[in-house]
Structure 1
Amino acid sequence: MQSRSTPSTRAGGRPRSTEADTAILEATRQALVDLGWTKLTLGDVATRAGVAKTTLYRRWAGKSELVVDAVAELFDELELPDSGSLATDIEGVVLQFAALLGRPETKTALMAVVAESTTDEPLRERIRASIVDRQKRLVLAGRARAQDRGELPAEPDTAAAARTADLIFDVIAGAVVHRALVSAEPVDAEWAEQFTSLVLGGLSAVSGRGPTAVPSAPDTAP
């Protein structure tokens, strides 16, 4: 698991306070739940966190950057379970992801920054770098484990591996976000199992062989 609270050193040489960072990011998420994007201000966050506004401005240039980092910290909590098979690994991370999206602070913060980013290209790039690209680590870890187990073949080259990783991430993240936040349908164990079967079938088709293929319908012809 990656951490957003690793101490860093400012230009003057004094390390940043990880306690202050933690308090600020927690206060940001709570302020989003209580106030929403429009009413949230750095001054309110500073008051909630018990720090001076100058402390925030030394760390973040503005509200957009602060909120993205507050959301990114939540996504860094995601971990890929090592259950012994690719299918159960995928099911586990899907359910974990859905549970994270169900938390009020995650839902409010994510929806706010995504909506704001539609007219803010730098914010969109920050979301991509801080959340999307960083969470592709889950795909890379899961694929490496599956290859070690012999469930997936190795890709022919680095470019092909990167394209496959991007596609897997887009399919899984897109489906779970849409079901949980747009359709507002439950992401339960049954759905996760069915969705995983669909993903594995696609992986099998792309790789030529793979984990367990989606079973075909029985022949009911007389």
Structure 2
Amino acid sequence: MQEPAPRVGRPRQSRVDAAIIQATRELLAEVGYAGLTVDGIAARAGIGKAAIYRRYASKVEVVFVAVVHDVTLEPPADAGSLERDLVELAQDIVAHLSAPAAYSALPGLLADIAADPVAAQRFGVTYVGREQACVAEVLHRAVRRGELTELPDVPMVHALLLGGAFTWLFVLRRPADEHFVRQLAGAVLAALWGEGVTAPLADVSTPTRPRSE
């Protein structure tokens, strides 16, 4: 008697995942971030809203995964040196932020995150945390190679890379070409080798007032 064939559930799930992402990207191009709704995504994907909410907590998460990255983000392959690793990392960040769908959606998406403390906390743990893990891996490699004497402040290095790219693209509205990527990586490298970010920052949430004379 033959053994029954095992049930294969994951391909069906993968098709649903792909349909959600594709529908989100299509609707962003058609109606923009402000006009996008979970109802609309579900209708375009041909699924129920429950299927979306089983995967994502909100519209914010669906859009971020569709246009930037998901929780499976991996660090760049080891390029052999801290300088080359930083160039690869900067290139990945710039590519994610400057993709047309991300470029149009991110301002509204970030405004929604800022307005919702619960979403902001979840977003920080789930997605920003994954980005910082990639940065940490690059820095750990440099420590193992002897290029850095100790692990720097990972959130600060992440902020330098991401903040530099975001400001260049969204505030200054300048094109982020290969020259910019190398400049950004070089600036972060200079800060690291200049020991500007070698330890976590002290708590500066309450500024110290200068004493009056």
Tell me whether 1:114 sits opposite 2:98 in the alignment: no
Alignment of 1:22-41 (within 5 A): 22-41=18-37
Give 5+ residue unaligned stretches, structure 1: 1-13, 156-160, 210-222
Tell me whether 1:206 sits opposite 2:202 in the alignment: no
Following superposition, the deviation at residue 50 of structure 1 comes to 2.1
Following superposition, the deviation at residue 172 of structure 1 comes to 0.6
Could you say which residue in structure 2 is the equivalent of 1:177? 166
Following superposition, the deviation at residue 75 of structure 1 comes to 7.6
% of aligned pairs identical?
Answer: 29
Deviations 1:67-110 (A, max 9, x none): 34435635855641321111111112212221222212222332
| Residues 39 and 49 in structure 2, CA contact (< 8 A), matched pair in contact too | yes
Instruction: Give the Cα–Cα distance (whole angstroms) in 2 for the partners of residues 115 and 99 of structure 1.
Output: 21
Give 5+ residue unaligned stretches, structure 2: 1-8, 199-213
Could you say which residue in structure 2 is the equivalent of 1:143? 139
Tell me whether 1:98 sits opposite 2:94 in the alignment: yes
Following superposition, the deviation at residue 143 of structure 1 comes to 0.8
Following superposition, the deviation at residue 154 of structure 1 comes to 2.6
Alignment of 1:153-192 (within 5 A): 153-155=149-151, 164-192=153-181
2:51 corresponds, among 55, 74, 80, to 55
Instruction: Give the Cα–Cα distance (whole angstroms) in 1 for the partners of residues 154 and 168 of structure 2.
Output: 21
Instruction: Give the Cα–Cα distance (whole angstroms) in 2 for the partners of residues 46 and 39 of structure 1.
Output: 14
Q: Tell me which amino acid in the other structure corresponds to 2:113.
A: S
Instruction: Give the Cα–Cα distance (whole angstroms) in 1 for the partners of residues 197 and 164 of structure 2.
Output: 24
| Residues 86 and 151 in structure 1, CA contact (< 8 A), matched pair in contact too | yes
Question: In 2 relative to 1, CA 41–90 (structure 1 residues): closer, same or farther, beyond 3 Å?
Answer: same
Question: In 2 relative to 1, CA 61–150 (structure 1 residues): closer, same or farther, beyond 3 Å?
Answer: closer
After the TM superposition, which of the residue ranges 184-193 and 76-85 deviates more from structure 2? 76-85
Q: Tell me which amino acid in the other structure corresponds to 1:200.
A: L
- For the residue of structure 2 that corresponds to 1:186, the secondary structure is coil
Alignment of 1:7-18 (within 5 A): 17-18=13-14
Following superposition, the deviation at residue 142 of structure 1 comes to 0.6
Question: In 2 relative to 1, CA 114–208 (structure 1 residues): closer, same or farther, beyond 3 Å?
Answer: closer
RMSD: 2.7
Q: Tell me which amino acid in the other structure corresponds to 2:28.
A: L
Question: In 2 relative to 1, CA 195–39 (structure 1 residues): closer, same or farther, beyond 3 Å?
Answer: closer
Could you say which residue in structure 1 is the equivalent of 2:3? none
| Residues 68 and 97 in structure 2, CA contact (< 8 A), matched pair in contact too | no
Q: Tell me which amino acid in the other structure corresponds to 1:143.
A: L
Instruction: Give the Cα–Cα distance (whole angstroms) in 2 for the partners of residues 22 and 35 of structure 1.
Output: 20
TM-score (ref. length: structure 2): 0.76
Following superposition, the deviation at residue 166 of structure 1 comes to 0.9
TM-score (ref. length: structure 1): 0.73
Following superposition, the deviation at residue 151 of structure 1 comes to 0.6
